[in-house]
Chains A and B, each alone.
Chain A
């Protein structure tokens, strides 16, 4: 993987720059949500459940060949679309890069309000959980 977290964020910002109204933007996010591969049932566990008040979000992470990969799902489609973007940005990088990442693209594509809606969308707990999982991988790596 040579594409950096930064590169992918720029790509997404570029993708979103063509939308000049919210309808198209949300239609695109919903499309992303529909395209996200459903999480296999065995990963939809209580431990993979990210606490949000209204919608349920499941997050599964794997650490293989020095990189972290994320798999996620939600019962609400807009949240699912947004997490598909997070998955796209943060998958395939080293645990260290994930932990240190600064996700400015959410702000740049005008979705920051979903981050602050902590209790209802669970998106910010999702982001936090992704970093925590990466941090655990990083510590395992160091311990080995």
Chain B
């Protein structure tokens, strides 16, 4: 990962940013918490916590149907988030933004509606060798039902997609390509624009899993011409239980609805129903109003700091961590792609990742250990799991020093 060393200034006041995250200021096992599990979920700034509290204290009402003041206020705030998301990911129309529970639900929605309507026996779905189970199993389920075939775009040992092999796999039977933008296990950033262009040449549509990229990288779905893009609120400093499915309007119009119920209908008779228009057609039932509203605060938080500043700063954290940990005896980095988000996976051949995780926790340091919901990728790399440190904008060089010290302590205990 040599080439990406950034010398640009990031213009961020990290101490001030940290003050906005109450959870960071606590002792864990009598040590100041070092939270390096941001790829699993990020912590929440006060603005997000306050938005949730505010909603329940002042505005709580069911949306879209009421004519009273509270309902109007709640509806307006709810719909403001849709506009904020549209701008944040560079979409063209607000109707293209569907609220979901998260990345997983977004992918399942596409598999169960678009997949059910359009996949036929013998059709091919391409996914990459580094997908999260969430971007595999929904396709496996619908492929099984439709007798469609799933093919895997291979990766090299550094954790980069083999674009030549990808091109070779594309053909007239390819109906869908589903690829992760940034790998949660390796950090690799995939060239999504190029992936989409190539797929479109063969008439295939593309879903991009943006769970790990949306908090770090510029997202421009319309410029990429992405057909579907999904992400989770809780990985972009927002609440759990809310996520986004972006879909091109024409595709969403043509797809059947996902779940039936209130809100998604136009008219209901005893003998049938008509669908509501976009985006409501895909939002059956009372949505997660408070968390949707608070998601806007999270996106605002990112926008105020600036994606470029965040990227520059997180990159320097990643470089610093690589340089520090590199000298630990027996360490091997897993995922050494040229272009990476701030995720650092590593293994020691003589120390089990679970053991490392336990000792680091005793030191107040939270990392992730295991297969990170990418079991087939573990098989491809011939490992059973990794230890993963993942950095967010509130992490510091001092915390990486603590990680290094914690690892040294663990190594001494185990060897």
Is A121 close to B, CB under 8 A?
Answer: yes
Is B247 close to A, CB under 8 A?
Answer: no
Is A75 close to B, CB under 8 A?
Answer: yes
**B385 nearest in chain A by CB position:** A54
Interface of A is mostly: helix
Please tell me if the beta carbons of A78 and B369 are within 8 angstroms of each other in the complex: no
Interface with B: A20-28, A36-44, A95-103, A131-139, which one?
Answer: A20-28
Bound complex: CA of A120 vs CA of B372, how far in Å?
Answer: 12
Hey, which chain A residues are within 8 Å of B29, CB to CB? 22
Hey, which chain A residues are within 8 Å of B354, CB to CB? 54-55, 76, 78-79, 120-121
> What is the number of residues of chain A that contact chain B, defined by CB distance less than 8 Å?
15
Is B355 close to A, CB under 8 A?
Answer: yes
Instruction: Knowing A26-B362, A26-B413, A30-B413, say if A78 contacts B370 (CB, 8 Å).
Output: no
Hey, which chain B residues are within 8 Å of A61, CB to CB? none
Please tell me if the beta carbons of A23 and B413 are within 8 angstroms of each other in the complex: yes
Of the four ranges (under 10, 10 to 19, 20 to 34, 35 or more), the interface on chain B belongs to 10 to 19
Bound complex: CA of A55 vs CA of B413, how far in Å?
Answer: 18
Interface of B is mostly: helix
Is B414 close to A, CB under 8 A?
Answer: yes
In this complex, which of B352, B359, B409 has the most chain A Cβ atoms within 10 angstroms of its Cβ? B352
Hey, which chain B residues are within 8 Å of A78, CB to CB? 354-355, 358
Hey, which chain A residues are within 8 Å of B351, CB to CB? 77
Bound complex: CA of A79 vs CA of B355, how far in Å?
Answer: 8
1/0 per residue B370-394: CB within 8 Å of A? 1000000000000011000000000
Please tell me if the beta carbons of A120 and B352 are within 8 angstroms of each other in the complex: no
In this complex, which of B353, B355, B414 has the most chain A Cβ atoms within 10 angstroms of its Cβ? B355
Q: Measuring CB to CB, which residues of chain A are less than 8 angstroms from any residue of chain B?
A: 22-23, 26-27, 30, 53-55, 75-79, 120-121
The 3 closest A-B pairs by CB, nearest first: A76-B352, A54-B354, A76-B354
Give 15 new A-B contacts, CB below 8 A, not counting A23-B413, A78-B358, A120-B354: A23-B409, A26-B359, A27-B413, A30-B413, A30-B414, A53-B370, A54-B353, A54-B354, A54-B357, A55-B352, A55-B354, A76-B352, A77-B355, A78-B354, A79-B354
